[in-house]
Amino acid sequence: MTIDKTKVAIEPKSFAAYEDAVAAAGCQVSSLDESVGALIWTDYANPQALADALEANPQLEFVQLPFAGVDAFKAILQKSVRFASAKGSYREPVAEHALMLAMALGRILPERVRASTWGRKFAASLYDAKVTIVGGGGITEELIKLLTPFRSEITVVRNRPIGLAGAKVVTLDQIDTALELAEFVILACALTDSTENLFDARRLAKMQPNAYLVNISRGAVVNTEDLVAALANNVIAGAALDVTNPEPLPDNHPLFGLQNCIITPHTADTNAQVIRLFSIRIKENLAAYQGKGEWVGLVDKALGY
């Protein structure tokens, strides 16, 4: 059977906004059969189900994945299918969340919200501060804009030495030097073989004792046990985590008891935000699939994101 490029399957769960985006791209939602070449996949937590769908439907030409990170799907990314992620889609709310966490750490809000006495006077400002951001994607681009009014001295650590306006760019092999100078370190990188456990005890020790760590990327970029020890022993001043490893973090985990740690439950982008912004990506890439526009967020299979 010939593939009909106007037919699109949405699996395993759809929303009215996604169906509206399909229609806006000049396509129609269809059940997944041998005439369908495009699949919108909406379940990050079940990569095996996607692997099964690809195995059962070798005619598929394009799969749109739901989040910026594609680490859950790395076992199938080498298949001869065009994959796109949602990288860049959620850049604004996630960058906003990272900024909020950094400011909260600098004003020792984890300590103050637990306080039962007047306490000490303290503040670490983002104004003229040295900020190192690990990762060079859309979230980082947005975060650089948000930090501009603070006159922050920004260094971005990324895989390739591609410049970013408003920041100094260094490559991953120079990360230790970038950490030694930073007052705030913000993780906004993809989870890959080279970034898993990137922040272990040795690398945390490269940070200044008055420096703060913010993670809005993936929990496994940080070694959790090593972070607990670093916070408990004042190796670094504090940490704010929107992602953890494991996730969700079990009740009564040691991180919850630390006065210099903020944990938000992976809420940098909410379901309502994701549905609205992912709908835009669906429309853009279905237009590209039909030859009517440019692809956005294609997965680089060599880099793994």
Residues serving a catalytic function are 218, 247, 266
Read off the pLDDT of residues 21-30 as tens digits, 9 standing for 90 and up: 999 999 999 9
Mean pLDDT of 183-205: 97
- What was the pLDDT predicted at 58? 95
The arithmetic mean of pLDDT across residues 84-112, rounded, is: 96
- Residue 130, amino acid: K
Q: The tokens of 228 are what?
A: 């607990």
Mean of pLDDT values over 33-37 = 96
Within 64-123, where are the H helices?
91-106, 109-114
Residue 172 pLDDT > 90: yes
Q: Regarding predicted confidence, which is higher, 304 or 284?
A: 284
Give residue 303's pLDDT.
Answer: 85
Q: What would the pLDDT profile of 109-132 be if each residue is shown by its tens digit? A: 999 998 999 999 999 999 999 999
* Distance (Å, whole) CA 149 – CA 157: 21
How many degrees, rounded to 5, is the angle at CA 288 between CA 79 and CA 48? 30
pLDDT tens string 64-92: 999 988 999 988 998 899 999 999 999 99
Average pLDDT, the chain: 96
What CATH topology corresponds to 4-89+271-289? Answer: Rossmann fold (3.40.50)
Give the bridge partners for 64, in sequence order: 40, 84
Predicted local distance difference test score (pLDDT) of residue 286:
98
pLDDT tens profile 241-271: 999 999 999 999 999 999 999 999 999 998 8
Range(s) of the chain covered by CATH 3.40.50.720: 4-89+271-289, 91-263
- Quote the pTM value: 0.92
Write down the architecture of domain 91-263 according to CATH: 3-Layer(aba) Sandwich (3.40)
- DSSP letter at 298? B
Report the pLDDT averaged over residues 54-68: 96
Angle in degrees, CA 288, 294, 297, rounded to 5:
95
pLDDT above 80 (res 1): no
Q: Is the pLDDT of residue 302 over 90?
A: no
Q: Give residue 213's pLDDT.
A: 98
Q: Give pLDDT, residue 104.
A: 98
How much of the chain exceeds pLDDT 70, in percent? Answer: 100
Query: What is residue 78's predicted lDDT score, i.e. its pLDDT?
Result: 87
Residue 304 has pLDDT above 90, yes or no: no
Return d(Cα 258, Cα 234) in angstroms, integer: 11
